[in-house]
Chains A and B, each alone.
Chain A
Amino acid sequence: MTPILLTVIQGAVILALAPFATGLVRWCKARLQGRHGASPLLPYVTYATLLRKEMVISPTVSWVFRLAPYAVLASTALVALLLPLTSVDGALSASGDFIVVAGLLALGAVFLVLGGLDPGSAFGGMGASREMTLVALVEPSIIAVFAAFAVTSGSGTVAKMLSVTGMGLLRHPGLLLSLIAFVFVALSENARYPVDNPATHLELTMVHEAMVLEYSGPYLAMLEYASSLKLTLFAILFANIIIPMPLMTVDSGVSAMLMIIASTVFKLCAAMGLLALLESSMAKMRFYRMQEYMTIAFLTALAGLILALA
């Protein structure tokens, strides 16, 4: 297969799976709470419905409000193409430098924040200020986590970092700490527990939901979809680091491709199950304790990096 084809396949698989990830984690959580729960496939219907709905746009907003959904979706999708999710040899995966990935994630977050502030509502501002704080404070942890992987694998691209995964982690025990820090980072980046409660109806406590409060119709679908996408790519990346299963390369055939797609679905299910378990077993953190969370994340990442260097 050609690198271009690999990237296209990766893009198609991840884009197709993204709504399922959101639906699955909701379903698992419902089950863990003793509820029936809606079908994990519901988000597909939701997004499709939203795409056909009328949009209500505030007269306060400017062009930034309209640009934001595209910018958020595009930056997230680009990250999904850069990272080694189903293949390591994609046309763009060699370009997936971790600093670029961190930068693109921040770029998406910035546009989400701008979109949240544009309608001039107190809730949007609230979510925006909190999100921006999280984005700013999580930056050192991201860099430290990936630096540890870069040092052990000898490469700055995330695709090459996957050379030390699975059993390889055992040879570099420090990376386990980096992995824990990665979870901290992922939870914060995706606005999940204990940083944010994605299911809350309390406007005053929201982070992500408060920013998208003024969006409706197709724009809302794009933003929700982008957040599903982000969740999916973090989950699969995490699974790829832990589970030593080969990904597609230029040498893979069709059967390998089908195998890998199936294993991707499995990885996603496992990761979402774990996330649901985590979210059902803890309370959300007080927002002004967030610097403690970030400090723990950072110190864990730093310890991982130091052990990786030793």
Chain B
Amino acid sequence: MTTHDYIDLAGGQVGETRNGLTLAAIAPEKLADACALLSENGLPLSLLYATDDRETDGSFGVHVAFALDEAHGWLMLSAKLPEDAPRYPSVTAKVVAAHWYERYAMDMFGIVAEGHPDPRRLVHHENVPEGTHPLRKDFAWNTKLAHADVPYPMHHVEGEGVYEIPVGPIHAGVIEPGHFRFNVAGERIITLEGKLFFTHKGVEKLLEGKTPTEALPFIERLSGDMSVSNALAFCQAVESIAGCRVPERAEASRSLLCELERVSMHMHDLANIAGNGTGYTVMAANGFRIKERLVRLSAKLFGNRFWRGAIVPGGLAADLKDEALREIALVIKEADAEMRSFLAMCLSSDGERERLETTGVLSREGALALGAKGLPARASGIGRDVRLTHPYAAYAAFRPTLVEERSGDVYARFIARVRELEDSSRLIAELTATMPAGPIRAECHAKDGIALGAVESWRGEILCALRIKSGRIDRCMPRDPSFCNWALFGEIGPGNIVPDFPLCNKSLDLSYSGTDM
């Protein structure tokens, strides 16, 4: 089916197409059905976000983006809701993947998804007064909120002997704040629910009114361990609106940085899962040591430990000299070889495999329905990788291998990381060896328009929806893959025993900060 067929199917009106993004208008009451139809036809619901357009046309906008993998493009359905009654039939009632997005829009814009099966608050906690909608344009970013006590009911399982384990937001380890609530009658988990958004930074609000250059530092700091990917997604959106062409060397360098980020964090995760999660301490100590080499390499090359500051709209801020490229190649080669030997030791341990296998199974159906993104989805047999479906940077020339596992357990996610680590090391070797020569930055003047930037970070697909008006950001929603994957806990947890939850958690390794923009 062509893009237009899909729009016809959904009952929308075809709008403009630009850089692979096709816009379509749709009536609010038809939105839910349209989404259901598109989902049934295999288009993954990739993003749902709202906009406050009351100044321009007196309406709120609800936008749903679907990935058109075969056409390497995106389709965005937009519905306009009247400003005095911003309500529409809930998409979630038909497509579960919209669950968190709609609750997010309800909190941030006061847009009501009618018939939402779980209309509790998402971002706002007990202390936020009713009727607070921070992303509405008439809400000043520095408003001091009154202290309220609005109930935030967690799910309860009925039955005598059931009790709840509250964990977090303050944990014993050095991790970000998140509250998890288990309903348990002993060790086996009956339900598991998370409550996040304890450290809301208000980045979306702060971005509004800034120029892309001013906005970039905020984007880079959304989630520290995904600085490169987030920056790249944002820059892609800016460049797409501006219509500028990024030079070849910059594109290759961007791919190189993405892969470096991926290698560092996969090493961290592998050490964390196999080492800390199961208590195989040798793996943890050595894995973290190896990862530290990469982080220090970043510190040496960029002055920070997270490969930050290199990517700017139009290309790169500074060139990676041949010397640096050689060093990168050498460090990665050594680190990869060392990591492989520890992974081999780890995988040959029966006790270790026993812990990982059959733990935290995510079924393919569950992953599809909940809109899982990235590595957890690939480990459950959903072979999507933005680098292949929507090639960006230099990925058209330097093709990654699609890693896919079927069993969907912690072991599958572990092995998927091991294989991606190998593949990324290969890509890094190729990129450093055959880095094209040439300029590293093109002129990129901000224009007005709408664009989507898509990057496959090591966590999964980042989608950065950007709308620029008069050279300044009007709305920017950098959607972290974690935002889609947090809900997976509800599927992964039940049936496992409580002491295996940290392992499940580590095998997903989601970002709190990226979700809690």
Contact = CB atoms under 8 A, between A and B. Distances in A.
Interface of A: 29, 32-35, 122-123, 126, 129, 193-194, 197, 199-205, 279-289
Nearest to B501: A204
A253 B151 CA distance: 74
Contact of B352 (A193, A200, A283): A283
A34 B186 CA distance: 38
Interface in B476-517: 497-502
A32 B282 contact: yes
A205 to B, nearest CB: 4
B159 interface: no
B280 A283 contact: yes
Interface string B340-354: 000000000101101
A205 B502 contact: yes
A288 B167 CA distance: 21
Given A126-B165, A204-B167, A284 B285 contact: no
Interface in B235-294: 274, 276, 278-282, 284-286, 289
A203 to B, nearest CB: 6
Given A202-B172, A202-B173, A122 B280 contact: no
B283 to A, nearest CB: 9
Contacts of A193: 279
A34 B287 CA distance: 11
Interface centre among B165, B279, B497 (most CB of A within 10 A): B279
A286 B500 contact: yes
Nearest to B172: A201
Contacts of B285: 33-35
B29 interface: no
B351 A282 contact: yes
Contact of A194 (B165, B167, B351, B497): B351
Nearest to A279: B281
Given A194-B351, A282-B280, A288-B187, A122 B502 contact: no
A283 B349 contact: yes
Given A122-B163, A284-B278, A34 B286 contact: yes
B436 interface: no
A287 B187 contact: yes
Contacts of A289: 354
Contacts of A126: 165, 498
Contacts of B276: 200, 202
B164 interface: yes
Report, nearest first, the 6 A-B pairs whose CB atoms are least far apart: A284-B279, A33-B285, A283-B278, A197-B279, A205-B499, A283-B280
Contact of B167 (A35, A197, A203): A203
Nearest to A123: B165
A177 B173 CA distance: 40
A279 B282 CA distance: 9
Nearest to B289: A34
B87 interface: no
Interface in B338-370: 349, 351-352, 354-355, 359
28 contacts: A33-B281, A33-B282, A122-B164, A123-B165, A126-B165, A129-B186, A194-B351, A201-B173, A202-B502, A204-B499, A204-B501, A204-B502, A205-B502, A280-B281, A280-B282, A282-B349, A282-B351, A283-B352, A283-B355, A284-B351, A284-B355, A286-B355, A286-B359, A286-B497, A287-B187, A287-B497, A287-B499, A289-B354
Interface of B: 163-167, 171-173, 186-187, 274, 276, 278-282, 284-286, 289, 349, 351-352, 354-355, 359, 497-502
Contacts of B352: 283
Contacts of A34: 285-286, 289
A283 B165 CA distance: 25
Nearest to A285: B351
B167 A283 contact: no
B279 A283 contact: yes
Contacts of A194: 351
Contacts of B171: 201, 203
B157 to A, nearest CB: 15
Contacts of B278: 283-284
B165 A204 contact: yes
A199 B281 contact: yes
B351 A203 contact: no
A53 to B, nearest CB: 19
Given A33-B284, A199-B281, A282-B280, 9 more contacts: A34-B289, A122-B164, A122-B165, A122-B166, A202-B173, A204-B501, A284-B278, A284-B351, A286-B497
Interface centre among A29, A199, A202, A282 (most CB of B within 10 A): A202
A63 B163 CA distance: 25
Contacts of A284: 278-280, 351, 355
A308 B276 CA distance: 41
Contacts of B274: 283
Contacts of B349: 282-283
Contacts of B351: 194, 282-285
Contact of B282 (A199, A203, A204, A281): A281
Contacts of B498: 126, 204
Contacts of A122: 163-166
Nearest to B173: A201
A200 B501 CA distance: 14
Nearest to B286: A34
B172 A203 contact: yes
A3 to B, nearest CB: 44
A126 B184 CA distance: 11
Nearest to B359: A286
Contacts of B501: 204
A29 B284 CA distance: 13
A282 B346 CA distance: 9
Nearest to A281: B282
A288 B496 CA distance: 10
A33 B280 CA distance: 10
A128 to B, nearest CB: 12
A33 B499 contact: no
A193 B280 CA distance: 10
A194 B281 CA distance: 12
A189 B297 CA distance: 45
Nearest to B356: A283
B286 A33 contact: yes
Nearest to A287: B499
Interface centre among B166, B280, B497 (most CB of A within 10 A): B280
A289 to B, nearest CB: 7
Nearest to A35: B285
